Amino acid sequence: MQIDPTPRREIGVFDSGVGGLTVLRELRTLLPTAPLRYLADTAYAPYGNRSPEEIRARCMAITEHLVEQGAALVVVACNTATAHAIEALRARWPGLPFVGTEPGIKPAVAATRNGRIGVLATPATAASARLQALIERHAQGREVVVRGCPGVVEHIEAGDLASPMLRQLLEQHCMPLRAAGVDTALLGCTHYPLIEPLWQAALGPEVQLLRIETAVARRACELWRPAAGEQASLHIETSGDPQTLSDWIATVLGWQDTAVQAWQPGLTSLTTPAS
């Protein structure tokens, strides 16, 4: 049997569900010849309601799979996973470059006019030490209002991008930011840009919204080293129902006939250091 001497090289991207597809969309634009693999841990979404230990275990299992499939670069396209797992991932795979996703406090500081900034995030990201460290490092005396937003990711995962119930939920989450008079708000979850017009309506037209997925994709571009003769490919996997995700992608992103494969980690993959 002839063995292919050229190992597979891919960019692996993962998120708790569909949110990281906003990053994948940017990567497909910026790196049109790159082999891409996306894994949506839909059966475990949303990460924002999980404990740090659970999140780290899932991220370890997913990254192990991506590496087995040939990932030479891994994009953690999830703020919550970045906050709770990226240091453990870097320790486990020290030679593998990782790109994380986190709220852009520094760009918000540069953008604000009145010194009041809002952060809209999942409950786990909002409570994370990593976000607090970013605020302490970059806020420079600005007022930062952090709002954990339970329930929003579930609507987006279900394909509900415009219902009255979702609009009412966003109104509730944005009320503290409006009351604080923020003029700049960060969408601190990769799911949230998928309903950006609704956030804007709930905050008001005078508030500028900042999103992160383009910056994350550009950082991945900086780290990616294309192989000779590299050819574009796209593999999408999910721990949930493949047809449901395929239908979501077709409806929301307009990528028709996208094949989605099922993925399930082995039990031994779900052990993680207690860091």
The residues assigned a catalytic role are: 78, 189
Cβ(74)–Cβ(96) below 8 Å: yes
d(CA 216, CA 234): 19
**Binding residue per annotation — 15?**
yes
- Beta-strand ranges (E) seen in the chain are 10-15, 35-40, 71-76, 98-99, 116-121, 143-148, 184-188, 208-210, 233-238, 260-262
47: annotated binding-site residue?
yes
Question: What are the CA-CA distances from residue 132 to residues 5, 83, 129, 187, 212 (Å)?
Answer: 46, 10, 5, 16, 18
Pairwise CA distance, residues 72 & 226, whole Å: 10
Residue 272's alpha-carbon distances to 45, 72, 137, 174, 242, in angstroms, are 19, 21, 29, 36, 27
Task: Consult the annotation and say whether 190 binds a ligand.
Answer: yes
79 labeled binding residue: yes
Consult the annotation and say whether 80 binds a ligand: yes
Q: Is 191 annotated as a binding residue?
A: yes
The annotation status of 16 as a binding-site residue, yes or no, is yes
Binding-site residues sit at 15-16, 47-48, 79-80, 190-191
Binding-site residues for substrate sit at 15-16, 47-48, 79-80, 190-191
